[in-house]
């Protein structure tokens, strides 16, 4: 499942020429990397899976603790998981069990990659300016798809129904506030939306009622 402060004043003559928006990839990369350095992180994700719409809440007490709850919005029970160090436990509605080794490895790797974003993997973004989103004033950044040489559409071509990626940073802290994937013209109905918070404290401990 698969994820600060410059403003650009344009001269009137340049505005009339309608230039491309500024490349702000570095601001987004710095924000994402700063997120991974926070002690406590909470992510609330609304997404479309193969089984239909779902909501996932993931909490991190870095560097090595994670709690995840995946809730299908149609059928099925919530699936919970906890990671502490190199151990993991899962609860699919029938009580907590220690996760098998391959699932533990997947959960640990998911945790590591989620909080340790690689600078170069963030991608390219252009600034879209200050926007009011759900009552908050945030800085918007629109993702730019740059396919590797020899693959993807040629320069200037765009696939039909191409998705738009938007990242919003808090203008005060520079940290990511939300990330959205949506069809063009439908940002109000995203295919994927992730909202971030940075609580003062998140406690994550191994479950005490693990079934053998």
- 120-144 per-position pLDDT tens digit: 678 899 999 999 999 999 999 999 8
Instruction: Provide mean pLDDT across the span 89-94.
Output: 93
Indicate if the alpha-carbon torsion angle 49, 108, 199, 187 is positive or negative. negative
pLDDT for 160 equals 43
pTM: 0.79
pLDDT reported for residue 5: 31
CA angle, residues 139, 141, 142, in degrees to nearest 5: 150
Terminal alpha carbon distance of the chain: 29
Q: Tell me 63's DSSP state.
A: T
Q: List the structure tokens of 42.
A: 């909470």
Give the separation between CA 161 and CA 163, rounded to whole angstroms.
Answer: 6
Which of 42-46, 60-64, 110-114, 205-209 is least confident?
Answer: 110-114
63: preceding bond cis by omega (within 30 degrees): yes
Give me the pLDDT at residue 171, please. Answer: 96
Coil, strand or helix at 15:
helix
Which pLDDT belongs to residue 80? 97
**Rounded to an integer, what distance in angstroms lies between the CA atom of residue 53 and that of residue 168?**
23
Q: Out of 71-75, 92-96, 108-112, 115-119, which region has the weakest mean confidence (pLDDT)?
A: 115-119
């Amino acid at each position: 499942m698969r994820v600060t402060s410059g403003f650009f004043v344009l001269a009137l003559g340049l505005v009339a020429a309608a230039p491309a928006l500024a490349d702000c990839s570095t601001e987004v990369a710095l924000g994402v990397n700063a997120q991974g350095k926070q002690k406590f992180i909470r992510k609330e994700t609304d997404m479309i899976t193969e089984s239909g719409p779902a909501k996932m809440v993931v909490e991190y007490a870095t560097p090595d603790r994670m709690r995840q709850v995946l809730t299908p919005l149609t059928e099925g029970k919530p699936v919970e998981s906890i990671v502490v160090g190199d151990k993991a436990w899962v609860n699919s509605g029938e009580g907590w069990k220690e996760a098998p080794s391959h699932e533990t490895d997947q959960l640990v790797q998911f945790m590591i990659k989620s909080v340790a974003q690689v600078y170069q993997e963030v991608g390219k973004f252009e600034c879209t300016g200050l926007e009011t989103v759900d009552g908050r004033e945030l800085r918007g950044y629109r993702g730019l798809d740059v396919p590797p040489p020899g693959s993807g559409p040629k320069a200037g071509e765009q696939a039909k129904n191409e998705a738009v990626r938007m990242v919003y940073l808090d203008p005060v802290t520079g940290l990511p506030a939300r990330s959205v994937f949506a069809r063009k013209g439908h940002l109000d109905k995203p295919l994927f939306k992730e909202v971030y918070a940075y609580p003062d404290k998140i406690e994550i401990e191994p479950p005490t009622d693990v079934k053998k």
